[in-house]
Chain A
Amino acid sequence: MAAVPASAVEARVPVVEVLSADKVYANGTRALNPVELAIWPGEFVTLLGPSGCGKSTLLKMIANLIAPSEGRLLWWRHGFERVGEAGKQLVMVFQDATLMPWARVQANARLPLDLRKINRVAANSRVEEALALVGLTGFERHYPRQLSGGMQMRASIARALVTDPNLLLMDEPFGALDEITRNRLDADLIQLWWKKKLTVVFVTHSIYEAVFLSTRVIVMAARPGRVLAEVTIDEPHPRTDAFRVTQKFAAYAKQLSEHLAKASSLGGEQL
């Protein structure tokens, strides 16, 4: 089993266990070598790597959107059929905001509750709470096209939060945003994670984003997609933007980019 950060070693149940899961597509392309990974409650784990390293594939396996070719995954020590029960809520935030353009922000955020047939009044009050958490109070009646890219992403996160998830999966959620907006959202996200005691698995190809957000970074490489290294980011929470300009931040960024550079210098060789 993968190394577990000291802070998370307790007699607790891992949120997700990836047990020798790999992915080979029908045409023989190997998207991902077998991965061993455990995600512990309260962690913020980032999957970092270049395009084609299988980080999104791994995330989608954790979301049960694609099945591994070999190996298996467990959620809270059980199969996926138990996910959705109390205390086992799993949600995903996608690359684009993926809001329904015909629905207002409120209806978009309420969707997971509507699909669970939850009473409209109760649902609306939870939506209101979630929108307040992401700073979108007052935009309930807006249509997605009336919001900026960053605000659309906030609405998407609000939609993820309404079910009170234990595990939040994020697939390069801020990749399409400008750097200033991205930093703002990163800072707000880390506050949210801290406040709500979430477990997050986050996919990115930005080294700085990975250092800033994570308790643990899984460094991945391409051709074939595989896990290279794990780096624990030992910086207390809650973190603020001040962390970005510290020596420690720079040292971690250097360490991660060295791992990535080493992998690309080996590029082309089949390991």
Chain B
Amino acid sequence: MRWAAPVAVGLIAIVVWHTLVKAFNVPHYLVPSPALVVQTLIADWGLLFGSLLVTLKITFGAFFMAVLVGTVVAFLFVQSRWVEVSFFPYAVLLQVTPIVAIAPLIIIWVRNPTAALLVCATIVALFPIISNTTLGLRSVNPALIDLFRMNKASRWQTLMRLRIPSAAPYFFGGLRISSGLALIGAVVAEFVAGTGGTSAGLAYQILQAGFSINIPRLFAALFLITVTGVALFLLMVFLSKLALGSWHESEVKQEA
């Protein structure tokens, strides 16, 4: 049931799309039929798959960097209120500044195009990790902290046995948001860099297809980005289930 319903909605949408395109004889340079998109996907697979790998490389690289940097920053924040109060506004600043506005600057400053894309996508993906992990590391049952204190637990023991497990559900929530943002960041950065003609990611293919009015290829590239996003999300759900499945309310099946 949980799978069947959304799949049915998707199938119906495709059938309606196909029927409307055929019925009104819509030219394929405006809206291609689903069948044509699949044909293009197969025909241009070599080109598109190469681009997909480039985009995936940036996405996973940026996601990894965001998790690494974000977690380190969160640990620094919880060490002292002053550190958090002093630096948190700048984390917000980084979050609210549109990446398209600063991407050209980063592309000029960072000479290596791949590195420039990585930096852009990391900035986009960073904030949810910082804010969620910080919140999680602070959301510890105060009575458990008392218990650890009474047992003369060291700072390290309290961190490993109490703070990190308490933070885990928040951290995995951050991962879900951040993984999607890493992909968006990668695509947006490619768009900006693509106008400079330095990248061959999926966004670049979309731009090129747009210029040459190759709309079926545009749709095919778009389809690959969407599938990547969904796959990332499912991967995060899976990881979260693996880590929290046995104990956390969000993952435990409710007994009826």
> What is B's interface to A at a CB cutoff of 8 Å?
141, 143-144, 146-153, 157, 161-162, 165, 168, 244, 246-249, 252
Q: A115-B157, A145-B247 are in contact. Are A98 and B144 (CB under 8 A)?
A: yes
What chain B residues lie within 8 Å of A114 (beta carbons)?
A: 161
Q: Is A87 an interface residue (CB 8 A)?
A: no
What chain A residues lie within 8 Å of B144 (beta carbons)?
A: 98, 100
Could you mark each residue 122-145 of chain A with 1 if its beta carbon is under 8 Å from any beta carbon of chain B, else 0? 000000000000000000000101
A-B contact count (CB 8 A): 52
- Quick check: B162 and A100 within 8 Å, CB to CB? yes
What chain A residues lie within 8 Å of B168 (beta carbons)?
A: 102
Minimum CB–CB distance from B27 to chain A (whole Å) comes to 58
What chain B residues lie within 8 Å of A103 (beta carbons)?
A: 165, 247
What chain A residues lie within 8 Å of B161 (beta carbons)?
A: 100, 111, 114-115
- Quick check: B150 and A102 within 8 Å, CB to CB? no
Could you mark each residue 42-86 of chain A with 1 if its beta carbon is under 8 Å from any beta carbon of chain B, else 0? 000000000000000000000111000000000000000000100
Q: Is A210 an interface residue (CB 8 A)?
A: no
- Quick check: A95 and B143 within 8 Å, CB to CB? yes
Minimum CB–CB distance from A103 to chain B (whole Å) comes to 8
Minimum CB–CB distance from A88 to chain B (whole Å) comes to 13
What chain A residues lie within 8 Å of B141 (beta carbons)?
A: 98
Chain A count of residues within 8 A CB distance of the other chain: 22
Closest to A91 in B: B150
Contact with A98, one of B147, B244, B246, B247 (Cβ below 8 angstroms): B147
- Quick check: A143 and B153 within 8 Å, CB to CB? no
- Listed by A's residue number, 15 A-B pairs whose Cβ atoms lie within 8 Å are A84-B152, A90-B150, A91-B150, A94-B146, A96-B143, A98-B144, A98-B147, A100-B144, A100-B162, A102-B165, A102-B168, A102-B246, A114-B161, A115-B157, A145-B252
Alpha-carbon separation in the docked complex, A145 to B148 (Å) = 21
What chain A residues lie within 8 Å of B247 (beta carbons)?
A: 101-103, 143, 145
Q: Is A116 an interface residue (CB 8 A)?
A: yes
Alpha-carbon separation in the docked complex, A101 to B147 (Å) = 15
What chain B residues lie within 8 Å of A95 (beta carbons)?
A: 143
> What is A's interface to B at a CB cutoff of 8 Å?
63-65, 84, 90-92, 94-96, 98, 100-103, 111-112, 114-116, 143, 145
Alpha-carbon separation in the docked complex, A211 to B147 (Å) = 28
- Quick check: A115 and B149 within 8 Å, CB to CB? no
What chain A residues lie within 8 Å of B147 (beta carbons)?
A: 92, 94, 98, 111
- Quick check: B151 and A115 within 8 Å, CB to CB? yes
Closest to A96 in B: B143
Alpha-carbon separation in the docked complex, A114 to B248 (Å) = 23
Minimum CB–CB distance from B147 to chain A (whole Å) comes to 6
- Quick check: B148 and A115 within 8 Å, CB to CB? yes
Alpha-carbon separation in the docked complex, A64 to B149 (Å) = 10
Minimum CB–CB distance from A22 to chain B (whole Å) comes to 21
Alpha-carbon separation in the docked complex, A114 to B156 (Å) = 13
Q: 6 nearest interchain CB pairs? A: A98-B143, A94-B143, A115-B151, A102-B247, A102-B165, A115-B153
Minimum CB–CB distance from B155 to chain A (whole Å) comes to 12
What chain B residues lie within 8 Å of A65 (beta carbons)?
A: 146, 149-150
Closest to B168 in A: A102
What chain B residues lie within 8 Å of A102 (beta carbons)?
A: 165, 168, 244, 246-248
Minimum CB–CB distance from B240 to chain A (whole Å) comes to 13
Minimum CB–CB distance from B171 to chain A (whole Å) comes to 13
Alpha-carbon separation in the docked complex, A96 to B144 (Å) = 10
What chain A residues lie within 8 Å of B146 (beta carbons)?
A: 63, 65, 92, 94
Alpha-carbon separation in the docked complex, A92 to B143 (Å) = 10
Closest to A95 in B: B143
What chain A residues lie within 8 Å of B143 (beta carbons)?
A: 94-96, 98
Closest to B252 in A: A145
- Most chain A CB atoms below 10 A, which of B144, B147, B151, B248: B147
